[in-house]
Amino acid sequence: MNIYDIIEKKKNKKVLSEEEIYYFVNNYTSGKIKDYQASALLMAICINDLNFDETFYLTKAMVDSGDFIDLSEIKKTKVDKHSTGGVGDTTTLIIGPLLACFDLAFAKLSGRGLGHTGGTLDKLESIEGLNVQLSIDQFIKNTNDINISISGQTENIAPADKKLYALRDVTATVDSIPLIASSIMSKKLSIDSDYLLLDVKIGSGAFMKDLDHAKKLAKTMVEIGNRFGRKTLALITNMDQPLADYIGNSLEVIEAIKTLENKGPKNLKDLCLKISAKILLMAGKYEKEDQALIALEEKIENGQALNKFKEFVEKQDGNPAYVEDLSNFKLSEYKYDLICEKSGYVKKLDALLIGEAAKELGAGRESKEDGIDLGAGIILNKKIDDYVQKDGILASIYTNKKEKIQDAVSLIKKAYLIGDKNEEEYKLILGEVE
């Protein structure tokens, strides 16, 4: 067996065996297969596709290339959720405390933000003292103690995926559903859990741009999870506009806390309740979705979910005063209000452009080594279907980079389209895949 024959086989649209896929993954990870050879195979895969068995074997090989995080010492049912990325997506900080109130173990290993999408760890670090790099023993203990723990991923989770993704990024081989699905699922399946819900984003601020491709990706990932023995479900949700009204690290934590106080935006709350209800059904806590939704609403209204978030913050050495008084969050020095130039309805609000503007202001990073400004970001005062008066405030921006204000303003202006009211109301949840 050699890499030349494997490349030739896929070039000729033939099916690769499990042994051939393992040979490729193991030898590329170890450095025996060179980048130019791996690039050729990735391009052949992009052009000629993988069938489901090939995609499953690729996922499994990438899982087996690194550590498996054994969480069997966590006594309760372990639940996890994953979003495929977006703008203003702070759902983890709301869903985690909610589910922990139902005696489920929300044990989540998360990452940092890159490009226009925010990372959960960066957001949490806007709370003074909060430790997001727990040892696995501490991660397990915290989850057993209070039903929730969120920490950074270990370095040796699916190393084959890290190496392959870096190569895909520079060889125009990112947009392949089997490669996307195996990349996402290899990381999720390297961590022990009982139930997994996938939030597959579609729209301007997401990687998937149309519903058919989003459904295909969701179906592939669900089938991989189920075949792996992990009960998996996917929702397809709209990212044509940012999910939240607050975009940026400190700002998104502020909005998550507001949502747990029942003062957050409707879209964000509705999606968090929907995802949480689906997980409660998967875990057997309720038989009907409306029962789960009523119970979740109660956890917000009676303050239990907010108290659980505060308990989580304290358990990971964060300052609870930040939960009690939102003025403790320090926003960036310069504030600028973007004024609307005409009256009308917001017809469009391009999520990608808003994310790019937030990155310009300092809220995102180009590479993993870049620093970020936790206090930078954007507050969107108007979203799709909202009416805005001429001279009203469309958005407020915060930054320490005064020289970047006009660049960000140009992007935000381009993101907004003001005109007549849309004929159809903006729809947040677009599908479900079991």
pLDDT at 170: 87
* Domain contains 429: no
Of 241, 238, 235, nearest to 428 by C-alpha is: 238
Asked if residue 355 and residue 312 are part of one domain, the reply reads no
Cα angle for residues 5, 8, 11 (degrees, 5° grid): 155
Residue that terminates a domain, selected from 300, 324, 348: 324
Domain total for the chain? 3
User: Which CATH number is 353's domain given?
Assistant: 3.90.1170.30
pLDDT at 262: 97
* Domain contains 125: yes
Asked if residue 210 and residue 320 are part of one domain, the reply reads yes
Quick one: 36 exposed, middle or buried, by C-beta within 10 A (0-12, 13-18, 19+)?
Answer: exposed
* Domain contains 55: no
Asked if residue 283 and residue 213 are part of one domain, the reply reads yes
Instruction: Write b or e for each residue in 223-260: b if 16 or more Cβ atoms lie within 10 A of its Cβ, otherwise e.
Output: bbbeebebbbbbbbbbbbbbbbbbbbbbbbbbbbbbbb
User: Which CATH number is 23's domain given?
Assistant: 1.20.970.10
Of 90, 395, 433, nearest to 269 by C-alpha is: 90
Q: In the sheet where 105-110 sits, what is the strand order?
A: 148-152, 105-110, 78-83, 195-202, 231-238, 429-433
116 pLDDT above the threshold of 60:
no
Average pLDDT score over residue span 87-110: 95
Residue that terminates a domain, selected from 294, 324, 354: 324
Asked if residue 246 and residue 132 are part of one domain, the reply reads yes
Asked if residue 223 and residue 369 are part of one domain, the reply reads no
* Domain contains 254: yes
Q: State how far the Cα of 264 lies from the Cα of 316, in Å rounded to an integer.
A: 24
pLDDT at 155: 77
pLDDT at 114: 56
Cα angle for residues 224, 184, 211 (degrees, 5° grid): 80
pLDDT at 366: 66
pLDDT in tens, 253-279: 999 999 999 999 999 999 999 999 999
Asked if residue 415 and residue 295 are part of one domain, the reply reads no
pLDDT in tens, 132-186: 999 999 999 999 999 999 998 777 899 999 899 889 988 999 889 999 999 999 9
pLDDT at 207: 79
Q: State how far the Cα of 279 lies from the Cα of 220, in Å rounded to an integer.
A: 19
Asked if residue 356 and residue 227 are part of one domain, the reply reads no
- Domain of residue 133: give its range: 78-153+188-324
pLDDT in tens, 353-411: 999 999 999 988 766 667 789 999 999 999 999 999 999 999 999 999 999 999 999 99
Residue that terminates a domain, selected from 296, 324, 352: 324
* Domain contains 107: yes
Residue numbers annotated as active site = 82, 161, 168, 183, 187
pLDDT at 368: 61
Q: State how far the Cα of 39 lies from the Cα of 19, in Å rounded to an integer.
A: 19
Of 105, 111, 191, nearest to 148 by C-alpha is: 105
* Eight-class DSSP state of 147: S
Asked if residue 299 and residue 216 are part of one domain, the reply reads yes
pLDDT at 15: 97
User: Which CATH number is 307's domain given?
Assistant: 3.40.1030.10
Asked if residue 250 and residue 105 are part of one domain, the reply reads yes
